[in-house]
Structure 1
Amino acid sequence: METFFAVLTDNWSDFVRGFGTTIRLFLIAAAASLVWGTVLGAMRVSPIPALRAFGATYVNLIRNTPLTLVFAFMVFAVPKLGVNIDFVPSALFALSVYTAAFVCEVVRSGVNTVPSGQAEAARALGMNFSQVLGHVVLPQALRAMVAPLVSVFIAMLKNTTIAAGFSVFEAGAIPAYLSERGQNQFAVLVWITIGFLILIVPLALLQRSMERRLRVVR
């Protein structure tokens, strides 16, 4: 047991740095994907065919592309186009672009739970599409969106480990880094698992709590 705890205490700064990067990736990418995903969701339900087509094409393309390929495109292909982006911003962009496609579908599904009569009544009052969506539809759809959105962000938190394969020192990169020091890999993996549980369990509990409070009465 002393060896097990020594793996954490002797390499505490590396664990803090790795999980610190993971949390930073998660928070920034979650905010960015929420904004972009909501915009895409609005496109999916827009009365303008071109916007609906763009939203549908984006979602179908991104959702059917492995996240690893999105990372590879950002890290290896984009620099060849003359755009030099550091590894961390590339990881943030890849996570945001990928997760936004799933957020979009959550938003679209949530909007579809609102009776169409609500939007028709708002339009009858003279509201335009943006006003109907922002003031009438989305506030009601939010109750149906909260639980699946948290699930999407939990998945994104776990997906941050892919960044380790593209020169980003985050939680997923800790095992390879500590293996060079001859640290017990089993203990390292257990501590990383515990770290992710500490991050994910509160989100799961929040999801259940909000789902109970905002459950839609059918």
Structure 2
Amino acid sequence: MGDKRVVSITPPNRSWPRAELEEMVERWLQGNIDCEKAGDWTGLAQFYTENAVYSWNIGPNEEFVASGRAEIRDVAIGYQMKGFEAWEYPYHDIIIDEKRGTVVGFWKQRAPYQRPDGSYYEIAGIGGSWFEYGGNWQWQWQRDFFDLGNAKDCFFQLAGAGVLSPVVKEKIHQQAKGRLLPGHRRLHPEPSRLQKLRNTIAIARIALTGR
């Protein structure tokens, strides 16, 4: 069944000076730029508290969670970023709430590969990160969000163009076998094959007949 730990993001209850949060954001953005240039994201580990939690959702029954700075370094921005060293993740908007000590940053996920028309492959929709500041220029937790449907579509396009890296291909292969990648866990038991078949038949009937 995998790890059953539940992600619990506690409501922020501490305010911080606006200037301190603004400087934290500037340090974070520069850290992202530096790591992107280096092709190694593990340098961002310095921006998390020792007991920080970094998570994101991967559909209705799968969650990624890294607990603690070491796991964030080794899994969230280590293993998870393998195969994406040349990708770009530029931030295009930042919202700071000093009363709650939170920051929301919106970013893009842009592949280094171009289509025949010269445009770059990019995951459409909205993507971003929600942070709580923990003091000392570190995040207490981070929760990412992105458009899963558009992400899948982008990877289908990249696969068709033959530009997926071997590391990414292997990750997709393991997931296709039903194996959980490091840091991933199920939110609840998987439905039986019979239930999945019933669900498929039910949705097909609705699509075909409207009932």
Query: What interval of TM-score do these two structures reach, taking the shorter chain for normalisation?
Result: under 0.3
User: TM-score scaled to structure 1, two decimals?
Assistant: 0.26
Question: Which of 1 and 2 has greater Rg?
Answer: 1
User: TM-score scaled to structure 2, two decimals?
Assistant: 0.27
> Structure 1 or 2: larger strand share?
2
> Structure 1 or 2: larger helix share?
1
